[in-house]
Structure 1
Amino acid sequence: MKRSAEVVAFKSILSGFIPSLFIGLFLIGCAHNPDIRMGQDNTSGTTVNNPSSYLGCVQSELPKGAKVYTQQENNALQLFVDSTDPNQATGLVEIKSSGVEHHYSAYQRDAWYDHGRLLDAALMCSRA
């Protein structure tokens, strides 16, 4: 009798553990930080502003305490927010020269958090 009670208890524990294990693994899989350029929060377009002026305008629209980094990569001037690692950055604006017009792309992780402030700045500065 004692043996069957132990088996029932063990099965009960397993029946709660296995779904919890799958849920935990699912959440771990969702918690990775993919390249910001792979997200859904983005905008792009063209501007006649030169790349330095354009990124200066975008930067001026960000909160005063924002950590911003600029770098040149593959014929594009990039402005990163919070980190230069695309897997960790909360924002990225890239601008490439192509004659008179310059093509920009802006990406923001969790844009809902501040109502897309970086994306709005990228669009507004393209028209300024």
Structure 2
Amino acid sequence: MKSSTSNEVILAFVVSFFLAGCAQNQDIRMGDDYTAGTTAKSSSDYVACVQSELPGSSKTYTVKEDNGLKLFVDSTDPTTATGLIEVSAAGSQHQFSAYQRDAWYDKGRLLDAALMCSNT
């Protein structure tokens, strides 16, 4: 009996340790909710279009880089941001990648905005 109880305690500890490790937020770019494509718009025009499609309560932050622009939603930390758009120049076109954490929550609003803004 004592061996069985010890095994249960060890199993409970291993499961708890595993679940605690899985609960950590990953970089938003590692998730399954994303889309990508190209747009003829400039990086700043594209980001402005996406921002205009988001609810007014969304906190957004833009970060300029050498070859592009990033739009973060709710945080500039990729492990806590709820959304991220990355746009980079590629000749006359601009490539974009859009990531949304928990896209099911608002039916992928950021991803839809990213696609819609690439076409207009």
Verify same fold: TM over 0.5: yes
Matched, 1:60 2:52: yes
1:2-21 equivalent positions in 2, closer than 5 A:
8=1, 11=3, 13-21=5-13
What per-residue deviation string (whole Å, max 9, x for no partner) do you get for residues 90-126 of structure 1? Answer: 1100111122111111011111111111111000000
Equivalent pairs counted in the alignment come to 120
1:64-75 equivalent positions in 2, closer than 5 A:
64-75=56-67
Q: What's 1:45 paired with?
A: 37
Please report the TM-score for the alignment, with normalisation by the length of structure 2.
0.91
55, 72, 75: which one aligns with 1:83: 75
Q: What's 1:4 paired with?
A: none
Q: What's 1:32 paired with?
A: 24
State how far apart, in whole Å, the 1-side matches of 2:16 and 2:59 are.
Answer: 33
Which structure is larger by alpha-carbon Rg, 1 or 2? 1
What per-residue deviation string (whole Å, max 9, x for no partner) do you get for residues 74-100 of structure 1? Answer: 412000001111111111001111221
| Structure 2: 5+ residue stretches without partners | none
**CA RMSD in angstroms, aligned pairs only:** 1.4
State how far apart, in whole Å, the 1-side matches of 2:36 and 2:4 are.
Answer: 54
SS of equivalent to 2:69? strand
114, 122, 125: which one aligns with 2:117: 125
Q: What's 1:100 paired with?
A: 92
Which letter maps to 1:72?
A: K
State how far apart, in whole Å, the 2-side matches of 1:73 and 1:17 are.
Answer: 51
State how far apart, in whole Å, the 2-side matches of 1:114 and 1:57 are.
Answer: 18
What per-residue deviation string (whole Å, max 9, x for no partner) do you get for residues 9-44 of structure 1? Answer: x55653432222112111111111111111111101
SS of equivalent to 2:58? coil
